[in-house]
Amino acid sequence: MHHESENLIEIENLHFSYGERKIFNGINLKIPRGKVVAILGVGGSGKSTLLRLIGGQLQPSSGSVKVAGQTVHKLDRHQLFALRRDMGMMFQAGGLFSDLSVYENIAFPMRELTDLSEDLIHDLVLMKLHAVGLRGTSKLMPNDLSGGMARRVALARTIALDPMLTMYDEPFAGLDPISLNVIAQLIRKLNDALGGTSIIVTYDVTESLKVVDYIYLIHNGVVEAAGTAEELMASKDSVVAQFIHSQPNGPIPFHMASPSYREDLGIGK
């Protein structure tokens, strides 16, 4: 009898580089089914790259990324597209089609990827908009929405097909405190209601700690720390403490590695 793994995603000894720039240096992590997991790290640590590796847009230099038991980079085109149909992705900037209404944005994946009737699509679109509190915006255009409203519409489109895996790339960026809290709570509630699995990639510690089950902190190409919100808040690790408590000084540098400033200015060492 086949038994499903308790982990939807398993990443083992993952290495990846952009040219000479090393991003991951043997990273290992697991995402359990039915949980909301945060991937934290400073800008440039590879958080969004990790989502692209999970979705198959990028291929690892070595190591493996498995989703639902399938090694993503070994899938052929047909198999990869089939797997992606079970994934929802909320992009950093929302990614709404500016020339389509709110209704048409959410209906788009239903029309492209299913054979549902227009009557059923109509009901499902309104259901998804109702879930994010924006059923009254169906006839509006994306440019008519506030930033927070646009992000909620993007969230509705992300869950349009009830994906087994939903990935959120910086879902809190640029939001006011109220909208930010609303989005965070919606991610939690929708994940539980749909029985899915969610990954939140973010640098926003405050909101992510409130709604996630587990956290991975990425630094220097590996998992620096992993645990619950309570465990990371109590960590004595200097990298974890600096990041979690937003300390300006510590092992995480503000300046990216580069030649000395004097050399760049041409005035010698």
Please list the residues that pair with 166 across neighbouring strands. 88, 198
Q: What is the pLDDT of residue 254?
A: 62
The full DSSP string for 95-154 is: ---TTS-HHHHHHHHHHHH----HHHHHHHHHHHHHHTT-GGGTTS-GGGS-HHHHHHHH
Residue 269's pLDDT band (cuts 50, 70, 90): low
Average pLDDT over residues 170-195: 84
Residue 148's pLDDT band (cuts 50, 70, 90): confident
Average pLDDT over residues 73-78: 93
Closest to 169 in 3D by CA, of 252, 57, 46, 28: 46
pLDDT over 50 at 42, yes or no: yes
> What is the percent of the chain with per-residue pLDDT over 70, rounded to a whole number?
95
Residue 4's pLDDT band (cuts 50, 70, 90): low
Q: What is the pLDDT of residue 2?
A: 46
Give the C-alpha separation, 157 to 137, whole Å: 13
pLDDT over 80 at 171, yes or no: yes
- Which residue type, as a one-letter code, is found at position 96? L
Closest to 211 in 3D by CA, of 194, 192, 235, 231: 192
| Domains delineated in the chain | 7-86+163-264 (3.40.50.300)
* E strand or H helix at 39: strand 36-40
The sign one gets for the Cα dihedral 217, 218, 219, 222 is: positive
Strand 36-40 to strand 197-202: parallel, antiparallel, or no bridges (unpaired)?
Answer: parallel
Q: At what angle do helices 177-194 and 118-131 cross, to 10 degrees?
A: 130
Please list the residues that pair with 33 across neighbouring strands. none
pLDDT over 70 at 168, yes or no: yes
Q: What is the pLDDT of residue 28?
A: 94
Based on the number of CB atoms within 10 Å of its own CB, is 195 exposed (0-12), middle (13-18) or buried (19 or more)? exposed
Give the C-alpha separation, 7 to 222, whole Å: 19
- Which residue type, as a one-letter code, is found at position 162? D
Q: Report CA 127 to chain centroid distance, whole Å.
A: 23
Summary mean pLDDT of the chain: 87
List strands edge to edge, sheet with 21-32. Answer: 21-32, 7-18, 62-67, 70-71
Give the C-alpha separation, 203 to 243, whole Å: 9
For 38, phi then psi, to 5°, come to -100, 140
Q: In the 8-state DSSP scheme, what is residue 254? A: S
Q: Tell me: the pLDDT tens digits for 122-147?
A: 999 999 999 888 889 999 999 999 88
pLDDT over 70 at 255, yes or no: no
